[in-house]
């Protein structure tokens, strides 16, 4: 096809556009609900506020306080002096792979993730709000307490193997992230009561967030992310529009060229017919006339049956069977009678 490349590019651009648009809408939705979400101080009144709210819960609220483990905190594996309530250890492999057109590109692949959590509250003085499923938060600001890169030592055999398999290991990276106890954070989500104690969990209204940023900073960051996503959406749409324009133009030019070719063909055919008509003898008997149009003389022989029965004009239309004996026509040629 003439515009295969353009169509492919349009498809890829369409996919990217879809992803950007989805991301943009998710930022917009979060921003809309976050802007109107109220911040509640953690104190004795909070229980009453929750009780008096619709359905006995605050659909999407913000609290700020200090992280406190309920019971024993988790001790960091790599930095034993650090304790926390959420812990994520990641092991990733850095490797180079031979990709498109034989180029080697560096990649990072997550091999293993292990996470751990203990129940904890966000507290102010004696009042605390338990955080349910903190690891499930969509935004989770954790401290990196350990980050180590270990380059691999490859043997001669590994190099040979890597050459043929198209993949070579570069090294392994281990990181450990922890939400430290005692850190001061902002939590956003649904606040309700479990018996007589407060808890915050994921909400249907908006995503659950656990972050060190304040509401204002968060709104600002989301606005920036939303704007940059909007820019990408505009870019992708522009590229799509240009590609559609290019395809439409090529299609139009192709059709125009086809029409032009057809009209030349028709004009040629017309002049050929006229020339033939001028050079034909007049006053021939009906016996010598073409059996189809009964006006021009017989000029063409059908093979292999050998019937001379068509004029040149009609021979152009009749391609399959001889009009006299219905035999299959394999070829036709000029007949001199």
Q: Which residues bind Zn ion (CB under 5 A)?
A: 290, 292-293, 296, 305, 307, 311, 314, 322, 324-325, 327
Pick the closer one to Zn ion by CB: 203 or 296: 296
Partnered with residue 297 across adjacent β-strands are 289
CB 272, min distance to Zn ion, A: 14
CB 294, min distance to Zn ion, A: 7
Mode of pairing for the β-strands spanning 127-131 and 120-124: antiparallel
CB 309, min distance to Zn ion, A: 7
Pick the closer one to Zn ion by CB: 215 or 307: 307
Pick the closer one to Zn ion by CB: 199 or 298: 298
Contact 295, 313 (CB under 8 A): no
Contact 333, 301 (CB under 8 A): yes
CB 239, min distance to Zn ion, A: 58
CB 324, min distance to Zn ion, A: 4
User: How far lies 155's CA from each of 14, 150, 162, 164, 165, in Å?
Assistant: 45, 16, 10, 15, 15
Pick the closer one to Zn ion by CB: 204 or 287: 287
Pick the closer one to Zn ion by CB: 54 or 287: 287
Q: What is the DSSP letter of 298?
A: P
CB 303, min distance to Zn ion, A: 9
Q: How far is CA 43 from the centre of its chain?
A: 47
CB 314, min distance to Zn ion, A: 3
Contact 225, 27 (CB under 8 A): yes
Pick the closer one to Zn ion by CB: 246 or 327: 327
Pick the closer one to Zn ion by CB: 181 or 313: 313
Contact 95, 107 (CB under 8 A): yes
**CB-based contacts of 171, cutoff 8 Å, min separation 6:** 93, 94, 149, 150, 151, 152
Give CA–CA dist 25/229, Å, rounded: 9
Q: How many CA atoms lie within 13 A of 274 on its CB side?
A: 6
**CB-based contacts of 307, cutoff 8 Å, min separation 6:** 301, 322, 324, 325
Pick the closer one to Zn ion by CB: 218 or 315: 315
CB 327, min distance to Zn ion, A: 5
| Residue tagged 């295969």 (tokens) | 4
Give CA–CA dist 11/147, Å, rounded: 40
| Residue tagged 């198209």 (tokens) | 166
């Amino acid at each position: 096809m003439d515009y295969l490349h353009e169509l492919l590019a349009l498809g890829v651009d369409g996919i990217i556009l879809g992803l950007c648009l989805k991301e943009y809408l998710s930022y917009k939705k979060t921003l809309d609900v976050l802007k109107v979400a109220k911040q509640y101080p953690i104190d004795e009144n909070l229980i009453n506020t929750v009780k008096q709210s619709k359905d006995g819960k605050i659909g999407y609220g913000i609290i700020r306080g200090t992280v406190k483990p309920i019971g024993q905190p988790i001790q960091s594996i790599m930095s034993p002096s650090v304790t926390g309530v959420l812990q994520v250890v990641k092991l990733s492999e850095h490797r180079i792979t031979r990709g498109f057109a034989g180029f080697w590109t560096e990649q990072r692949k997550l091999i293993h993730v292990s996470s751990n959590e203990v129940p904890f509250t966000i507290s102010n003085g004696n009042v605390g709000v338990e955080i349910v499923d903190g690891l499930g938060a969509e935004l989770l600001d954790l401290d990196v307490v350990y980050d180590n890169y270990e380059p691999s030592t490859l043997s001669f055999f590994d190099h040979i193997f890597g050459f043929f398999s198209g993949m070579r290991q570069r090294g392994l990276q281990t990181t450990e992230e922890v939400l430290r106890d005692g850190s001061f954070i902002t939590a956003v989500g649904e606040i309700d009561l479990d018996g007589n104690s407060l808890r915050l969990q994921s909400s249907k209204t908006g995503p659950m967030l656990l972050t060190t940023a304040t509401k204002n900073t968060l709104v600002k960051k989301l606005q920036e992310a939303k704007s940059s996503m909007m820019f990408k959406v505009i870019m992708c749409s522009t590229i799509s529009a240009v590609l559609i324009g290019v395809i439409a133009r090529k299609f139009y030019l192709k059709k125009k060229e086809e029409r032009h070719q057809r009209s030349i063909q028709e004009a040629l055919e017309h002049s050929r017919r006229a020339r033939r008509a001028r050079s034909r003898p007049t006053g021939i008997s009906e016996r010598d006339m073409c059996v189809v149009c009964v006006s021009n003389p017989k000029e063409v022989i059908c093979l292999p049956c050998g019937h001379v029965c068509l004029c040149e004009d009609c021979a152009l239309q009749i391609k399959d069977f001889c009009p006299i004996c219905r035999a299959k026509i394999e070829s036709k040629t000029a007949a001199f009678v």
